[in-house]
Each structure stands twice: as structure tokens, then as C-alpha cells.
Chains A and B, each alone.
Chain A
Amino acid sequence: MLKRITGNLKDTWDVFAAEVRRVFGDKTTVVIFFLATVVYPPLYYYIYHLEMLTEMPVAVVDLSQGRDAKRFVHKLDATPELTVAYRCANIGDAEQLLREHSVKAIFLVPKDYDALIAHQRTGTVTVVTDISSFIYYKNALMGGSNVLLDEMKTTQLAFQAAEGVTGEEARTQIEPVAYDDVKLYNPGGGYASYFIPALLMLVVHQTLFFGICVLCGDANENRKALRLIPPRLRSRSVYRVTLGRLLCFLFIYIPITLLDLWIIPYLFGMPQLGRPTEVMLLVLPYVIAITCFAMTLGNIFARERMSMLLCCLFFSVILFFLSGVVWPQSNMPRFWYVFSYLFPSTPGIQGFVRISSMGATLHEVRHELLALWMQAGVYFASACLSIRFIKHFSR
């Protein structure tokens, strides 16, 4: 009995050692595992570190030229989102500026704006905005509606004052119910705080996946896949081979995930509400699931070193959308929602975003954890089976 256990351990150790040598002996995997994971996160952080677009240039066409209109324009300029770069005399000039992309939006105050307000009718300001990036649209909308709210209050207070109602009473009249808005987890609505946590998990997923696929493809291409399995294990159960390889990638990737998911966010001051132990407890099944998933696909489909990189790189974009960070999971068509759980990235990204940006505990991400462990189990079994596939194929 004892001899059998030590024998098994010895086998696993042999596979582990051989695999580590293979990883470090291959230039491509070294680039993917150790260069990509170190370069990508800081690069993306640098790209997004300004978090949002401020002082977006807009043009104003003030046809009214009244007091209320001027105040509106003044307040627009004062918002952090917008800056009034041009004041045009007519809509044609403003349109020209928009077409040339000198401004991203036009605010048009109609001729009768002041007159309407004076007659206690609604004065309407028209916004025409560039929507080629949604951030332009959002900025124009946010800046515009913040000014709108403030102007409404000012005008209504003036109406009340005209009727002889002032002070607290007037305020209650115009705002009988008020609300405080609390923006949780990413109060500034910044892009980096939203995008980077998900991206970090995706970088871990994709580098590990492609690295393993390169190794599997290399083995298949040079017809040495069988040779890589120690001779005495070839005819017997193959779980030791899978286990040994899995341990190798865990050994390499646990420090990398620690760097990418803990040290780099710490250095760059990214949101980091979760405890390191919780992050690591999520990452453990994540790395196991990715490794086994990649070994399964790699053993079966990677006929050449580069074939998986060629065929699956486009999928990174799709994986990001499948994770539900951009398009909410509750709004996905049923099919894509189920499909998304084939990939470790979906529960991994969801779990990590909730732990590190939203301060959830493991209890709140238990569904994601369960999904990851189930994927780990299923893909481990399929990875073992896929080795049989190689043996069959090689014969």
C-alpha cells in the first residue's frame, strides 16, 4: 500500500519536473507566461489611469441671449464633464465644428427660451452629440442633465419667490420628496476601476490557456506527445500525468496571479476590498479549471504550436463580453448565458470583481466558487481522457 502511494507520488513528481523543464525551455511559453503577465496589467493601467474624460469640448448656440440662457451656458461650462469651447451664432457653424470633430456635442438654446420660462412654460434645450464612443454621449448627457436639474431648482425658486413663498417653505414646495444618491464601489464611475479588475482575470486566463496550448501543440506537432509521458505510465492510468502537469502550472501560476491580482493592483492603487486569502481561495480553482480546460482542448485540437493562438485569439473579445461585466448576465440570451459557463473566465471574473471591487466575502461568491470547482473537476476528468485520445491518435 505504502509502496503504491510512494510510487504514485514519484510518477507525479517525474511528470511535474519534466513539465517545468519544458516550460522554461520554450521561448514562446516564457514570453507568454512571464512577459505578457508582467507587461499587460501596468500597460492597461497606464492607458486607463485618467479614469474618465473631463472637460469635453462642446459648442453652444445661444439664440435667446437672455439672462436664463446665459446662466444655463455658464453652468454647462462649470461642469467637470464639459467645457464650452465655442459659442456659435448659428447652428450651421456649430454643425461644421461637430463634423470636424472640434467639439463632441452642440447645445442649442432656442430663441424663445427665456420668453417661455418667463411665461411659466417649459423651455427646451436641444443637445446633439457624437456617439461614436459612448463616453461622449454619457458626458454630454450627464453634464446637461446636472445643469438641467440645477436650473429647474433655480427657476422654480424664482417662481415661488414671485408668489411670496421663500426659504424652507419654498424648498419643500419644489422638492417635496428628495433622494440622496450613493454610488457604491466605484464612486467616480471611473473606467479603470471598472475595467481593470476584469481585465486582470482575463489576462491570467488567456496567457495560461495559450501557453498550455503552445506546449500541447508542440508535443503533437513533433509527434512526441506520447514520448512526453514516462514509458512506464503509458499503458496504465493517466491521471498521474494530468496531475503532474497541473501541479507544474499551479506552481508557476500561483506566484503570477499573486503578482497580477494582488501586488500590481496594490502598487497602482486599484480597488482592493477583498482579503488576499479570499482572492487566493478563488484563484486556486480558477487556475486548476483553466489548466485542465486548456490541456483538454490542447491535447485534442492543437495540432501545431501556433494553431490555437491562431484560431482562438479572437475569442478573448467574446470571453470579455460573456463574463457579464459589460452586458449584464441577467440580460444575456439564455443560450449565451449557459454557454458562458463553459469557460472558467466567467465565474472567475465575476467572483474577482465582486471580491476585490465590491468587498464581497466568499459566502457571496459561493455560486461562482462552486462553478469553478465543478469546472475544475469536469475538465480534470476530460484532460485525463484527452491523453487517452493522444495515445490512440499516436498509434
Chain B
Amino acid sequence: MWRVVNRELRRIWHSPRYLAILTLAAVLSFVFFATMTQEGQPQKLHVGVVDLDHSYLSRRLCHELEATQGVTVAAVYDNHTEARLAMQRGEIFAFYEIPAGTYNELLQFHAPRFSLYTNQSYLLAGSLSYRQLATMGKLAAGAVQREVLRKKGYKDDAIMGLIQPVALETHAIGNTKASYCIYLMTTLIPGIIALLALLHTAYVIGRERQERTVKSWMRKAGGDALKAMWGKALPYTCYYSMLLLLANFIMYGPMGMPLEGSWLLLALHSMLLIVAGQSAAMFLMGCVPDPSVAMSLTSAYATLSFTMCGFSFPVDAMPLPMQSFSLMFPLRHYFLAMRDIAFFGNGFETCWPQTAALTAFWLLSLIGAAMLNRQYERRLAC
């Protein structure tokens, strides 16, 4: 097997282009997600106000909105249509519509109503701006109530209990500030590096076929397809594992992402993720004889793993066949293990099914090797 490793290292030495490009790809992805989501949650989302009332109240509302961290008033519109068009142009994600005479009605205690429109086709921006504007609406109502109660002679501390008899306090486990940076990076970065490892392995195996060097490759491995495959993949296993460990180290170290559990356990799963991805690549490359078609299928499989790992849309909300299908993706198991180790601080006693599943992917490489062996022998026979 070492002869194959040696041969592969020599090949890398002669054309290190792809290794360099793919390393750059990993670095680019890391920097991209780290800088893109550095705010944690989108701040100062653009919203609008349709002011038909032109009163103290509507101006006050604009000021209050401006003062919040979450939204900023991008424009004040004269009518509904203008605001809707602005929304369709993507300039604002939500707007308040304050009908004419609102302030007068308020003074007369006629319980005026205004409307809050949010654009839900951008799920994140829509729901965040909705939450912010709805809170403002409640605060406005609370402020009026407080004034009334003060005039009735209530003390301020008693007023609070009357205005807000019930409150909710939220704690998110691990990611306490509900930061998108932590949420995205902890899964996407390992996912991308595993994708690079998987593709690179698939590529180098396919390359042997394309260059018609399978014979010399197999001869180095003494005719054992499994040794040939893993000998070829081993340099990449080491390299991408190192890359992933480094990325994880930066994320959980200097970047301060939460790691409640054992660092060693996370490192183990990171390496298993790389190996599992490579095994899947060997399986696909072994089963599909045409290297280019096999590579396209591998790409399709690798891209799907971001959806099927269930970090954005949970697997429990997918149809039942898809829930089983999700087990076919190493990233799914890594995601589950990472959640347990990093966020919940669970140990091996909870995440062992994932460890076992990731290890079991290795069996796929046996099938891939068997297929390769058969093709090789058939070629030898003719």
C-alpha cells in the first residue's frame, strides 16, 4: 500500500495545482462566511412607514424605530402602492401603514388600528423585521396604557405588572446570542472541506481511468483494489483532515464558538467525516465506469448533502423516505455529532450512533474496490 501512497505523493508533487486551488477554496469559504455573517444577526434591516396620518404619533414611531438595533426606516411613503413597489424592488422588507386620523382616534380612546406588512419571501429578513416591528407595536400600546394608568394614580412598579403580567425569557443552547455566524459556520465549513476531499478523491481515481494508467496503479498495489484505492486516497485523507482540524481549531478557539464537550471527540468525528466522504466517492467511482459521468454523480451527491444534513430545514420536517435517505450522507451524522459535542456538551455515550454510522461508511469503499477489481480483471482477461 505504501508504494501506492508513494506513487500518489509523487503525482501530487508533479502537479500540485489542484491541491493549491482547493486549499484556496477552503480558505475563501472560511473567510467568506466569517466576514459575511459577522453581525451575528442581520442588523438595521430596511423597513418603511406609510404615513397617512402626518401626526405626532407617526413621527414618534419613526424615531422609535430608528432607535432600535434591528431595523432602520429607509423611507416614508405617501401611499400604500409606493411602499408595495419598494418592497417588490427589494428596498424594504416590511412597512407600517398608519391610516389617517389615527392620533385623533387614540386621543378619543377609539382603539385605532394600523397595519404591518412583511415580506415573507425572504424568510430571515422578513421574520426578523416582523419581530422588531411587532414589538414596537406592542411597546406603543404599552406606552399609551402606562400614561392612562399613571393618570389613574398607579405607581410605576405596579404599572409594569398590569401592562405585562406575563413575560417570556428565551435561552438558546450553545448559541446563546442566536448568531448566524456560529450556526452557519459550524456546519458549512466542515461540509465544504468534506466536499473538497470527496471530489478530490473522486477526481484522482477517475483520472487514472482517463489517463489509462489503471494497470500500473493496480500493479503497485499488488492487484488489490482496496489497497490501491486507499493508498491513493490516504494523502488526501491526511491533508483534508488537517485542514478541517485547523478550521475547527480557529472556529472553536480564537473565534469563540461554543464547545461544551470534548475537543478530541470533535476532532475524531471531523476525521471520520473526511474518511466517510472519501469512501462514498470510492463507491460512486467504482460503480460507474465512465469517470466523467461518475464525477458528475458524485458532485450531485455532494451538493445534496448540505440540504440533507438538516441544519437549515430539519430532517424531522421532511417526508419519511427522505428522513431515511438523509442517513446516506456523512454530513448528516457529523452535524448530529457536532450538535451533541459542541452545543450540548454530550459525551461519547450519546453520540456513539453517529460515530458508528460514520465508520460504517468505510464499507462503501469495499464495494467500490470490489467493482474496480472486477473491471480490472475483465480487462486483464481480454
Contacts and interface: CB of A to CB of B under 8 A. Distances in A.
B174 interface: yes
A306 B123 CA distance: 36
Contacts of A330: 44-46
A179 B36 contact: no
Most central of B111, B121, B127 by chain A CB within 10 Å: B121
A180 B102 CA distance: 14
Interface residues of A, number: 113
Given A318-B32, A332-B36, A360-B88, A140 B170 contact: yes
Contacts of A172: 109-111
A327 interface: yes
A360 B292 contact: no
Given A72-B166, A183-B120, A358-B119, A189 B127 contact: yes
B85 A128 contact: no
Given A120-B162, A350-B90, A47 B307 contact: yes
Interface string B79-98: 00000010111100100100
Interface string B117-136: 11111111111001000100
Interface string A118-150: 011111111111111111111011001100100
Interface stretch (A12-20, A24-32, A58-66, A277-285): A24-32
B161 A131 contact: no
Interface stretch (A261-269, A287-295, A308-316): A308-316
A317 B116 contact: no
A193 B121 contact: yes
A172 B109 CA distance: 7
Given A28-B296, A316-B303, A179 B172 contact: no
B77 to A, nearest CB: 15
B27 to A, nearest CB: 11
A28 B122 contact: no
A331 B168 contact: no
Interface in A151-196: 151-152, 155-156, 159, 171-187, 189, 191, 193-195
A245 interface: no
Nearest to B120: A186
A187 B119 CA distance: 9
Given A179-B115, A179-B137, A328-B93, A314 B195 contact: yes
B178 A137 contact: yes
Given A133-B310, A182-B117, A189-B127, A31 B192 contact: no
A251 interface: no
Given A46-B319, A125-B168, A159 B162 contact: yes
B45 A331 contact: yes
A137 B46 CA distance: 24
A121 B144 contact: no
A99 interface: yes
A36 interface: yes
B22 interface: yes
B112 interface: yes
Interface string B153-176: 000001011111111111111110
Interface stretch (A49-57, A223-231, A379-387): A49-57
Contacts of A93: none
Q: Considering the complex of A and B, which 6 residue pairs feature the smallest CB-CB distances, nearest first?
A: A360-B88, A186-B120, A131-B172, A28-B292, A53-B317, A132-B339
Given A182-B118, A307-B18, 13 more contacts: A122-B164, A125-B169, A128-B173, A132-B335, A133-B314, A144-B168, A155-B165, A156-B162, A175-B141, A177-B141, A181-B118, A186-B126, A333-B35
30 contacts: A47-B318, A48-B318, A122-B165, A123-B167, A124-B169, A129-B170, A130-B343, A131-B175, A131-B178, A133-B311, A134-B178, A135-B313, A155-B165, A176-B141, A178-B113, A179-B96, A179-B114, A182-B117, A186-B121, A310-B18, A313-B199, A316-B303, A317-B191, A327-B37, A328-B42, A331-B44, A333-B38, A357-B121, A360-B89, A364-B88
Interface of B: 18, 21-22, 25-26, 28-29, 32-33, 35-39, 42-46, 85, 87-90, 93, 96, 102, 106, 109-127, 130, 134, 137, 140-141, 144-145, 148, 158, 160-175, 178, 180, 183, 188, 191-192, 195-196, 199-200, 203, 206, 210, 290-293, 295-297, 299-300, 302-303, 306-308, 310-314, 316-319, 322, 335, 339, 343-344, 346, 350
